[in-house]
Amino acid sequence: MKKHSWLYWAPRTLGIIFVFFITIFALDVFEEYKFPEVLIALFMHLVPTYLVISVLIISWKWERIGGLLFLGLGIFYIIMTWGKFDGLTYLIISGPVILIGILFLVSSFRKTKKEKSRSP
C-alpha cells in the first residue's frame, strides 16, 4: 500500500487528533488544585494521553497489533466506566478509539492482501 494512501494516514491522523482531544480534559486540574498538587494531578490526568500515545507509536509500526490495542482501549473504557455516564459519553470517548482501531486493522489487512497479490 502506498504510504500516501488515505487508509494509511486516516487512523494515524485521527489518533493524533484524539490525543489532543483527551489532553484537553486534563487541563481542569489548574482550576481544582494549587501549585504543589497540580503537578501530581496533571501527571495523573494525563495517564490516558500517555496510553493513547503509546498505542499510537506501536500502531505506526505494527498496524495489526496497534489496531487490536486501540480496540482494547475502547472496550476497556466502556467496561471500567459502565453505568457512570450516558451513552453519548461512551460514543464520544470510545467511539473514535474503536474507529481508529478498525482503520488500523483494515489498513493492515489491505496491505497484506496487496502484498500477497504481488508475490509470484
Quick check: 1 and 7 in contact, CB under 8 A? Answer: yes
Report the Cα 88 to chain-centroid distance in Å: 18
pTM score of the predicted model: 0.83
Query: Residue 111: how many CB atoms within 10 A of its CB?
Result: 17
Q: What is the mean pLDDT of residues 39-47?
A: 88
Res 3 pLDDT > 60: no
Tell me, what's the pLDDT at 103? 95
Q: Which candidate, 112, 106, 118, places its Cα nearest to that of 9?
A: 106
Q: For all residues of the chain together, what is the average pLDDT?
A: 87
Res 20 pLDDT > 70: yes
Quickly state the pLDDT bin for 22 (edges 50, 70, 90): very high
What's the CA gap between 15 and 68, in Å, rounded?
Answer: 14
The domain limits of the chain are 6-113
What's the CA gap between 50 and 106, in Å, rounded?
Answer: 24
Q: What is the mean pLDDT of residues 4-25?
A: 91
Res 24 pLDDT > 70: yes
Residue 105 CA neighbour count, 13 Å, CB half:
12
